[in-house]
Structure 1
């Protein structure tokens, strides 16, 4: 749920105030249904749930209270929750939940560069520690007569992912240190084409 919540709060924060249809279309352009396991049909429900919990404000509703015609913006509590979830995803390595870091990457620009560097260095340390522990975890499995030996491969595939992420994190940290990308308090490194932004805000015809 935290990945879904971060994505919903984050995309609202980028485009607020924005209609539910626009937010759904934007998230689907990120292909969240594949890497974050978000059911496209649940996006409206998620927005309404966040509003019910006081994290989003529903600004207006069209005729018939259609979820796609409701516009949203973050509340003060939603802003706090957004940064709490973003920092949790960035600072914490979770080997079996790569979707959380991938979601965080979508919103790193809302943090300052020095915090992003510090968090990446923390992730490097965590990943290095996980690599050090790997041989001992394997030895424990081999010495435990009640654990099937094929469980080793479950550890090894996780270790392979960790090592790949470690290599990427070191390189990404170096790019950030070298001045790549734009972060909070800095000039943006990218702005959308006005024509694209106008198209993005176009709502479909409601029909008869």
Structure 2
């Protein structure tokens, strides 16, 4: 659920004010279904839940662009901004690929320095995991699944790839790649 909450809050924050269909359109246009397990129904459920928890509030639409009942438009409250920041920071240190993916999608909403610090924490945690995984005993004829050399090899390769990916992202950010909102605001 935190992945969906982060996507929904991020979409509304990028727009300032948004209705459910616009949030769904954003997430669909970002092809988030290819890098997360988010489903359309979970987006609307998250909108309801976020409003009930005081993280978003409804606002009156300035212009009713369609005939029929007015649509519900949302803005993010201070409580929601705090939740967004906490989820985003958590996502950038997470070893879960879906959470990291959403974190990367919104990392520009942090300062460059904060994004670097969080990704460095992730890299350190991954390096610790690699050392642990390499220390696991394996057996040619495994007495239990956790001692199967192929299984341990899969784990080591996966975490090594995650560490290398994190290192590449860090290098790109440190090299000045990508625009961060805080830098754009400083330039105004």
> Which whole-Å CA distance do the structure 2 matches of 1:52 and 1:152 have between them?
49
- Equivalences for 1:129-144 in 2 at 5 Å? 129-137=128-136, 139=137
Question: What is residue 78 of structure 1 aligned with on the other side?
Answer: 80
Determine the structure 2 residue equivalent to 1:116.
Answer: 115
Structure 2 SS opposite 1:50: helix
What's the TM-score once normalised by structure 2's chain length? 0.84
1:91 corresponds to 2:93? yes
> In the alignment, is the contact (CA less than 8 A) between 2:58 and 2:75 conserved in 1?
yes
Q: Note the C-alpha offset of 1:187.
A: 2.0
Aligned to 1:34: 34
Root mean square deviation, CA, Å: 2.5
Alignment correspondent of 1:11: 11
Consecutive unaligned residues of structure 2, counting only runs of 5 or more, are none
Is residue 2:159 matched to residue 1:162? yes
1:104-145 superposed Cα distances (whole Å, 9 cap, x missing partner): 0111111111111122222221111111111223x1788984
Is 1:175 the counterpart of 2:167? The answer is no
Q: Contact conserved, 2:142 with 2:148, CA < 8 A, in 1?
A: no
- 1:33/1:123 CA distance change after superposition, 3 Å: same
Cα distance in structure 1, aligned partners of 2:183 and 2:11 = 20
Q: TM (normalized to structure 1)?
A: 0.76
Q: How many residues were matched structurally?
A: 180
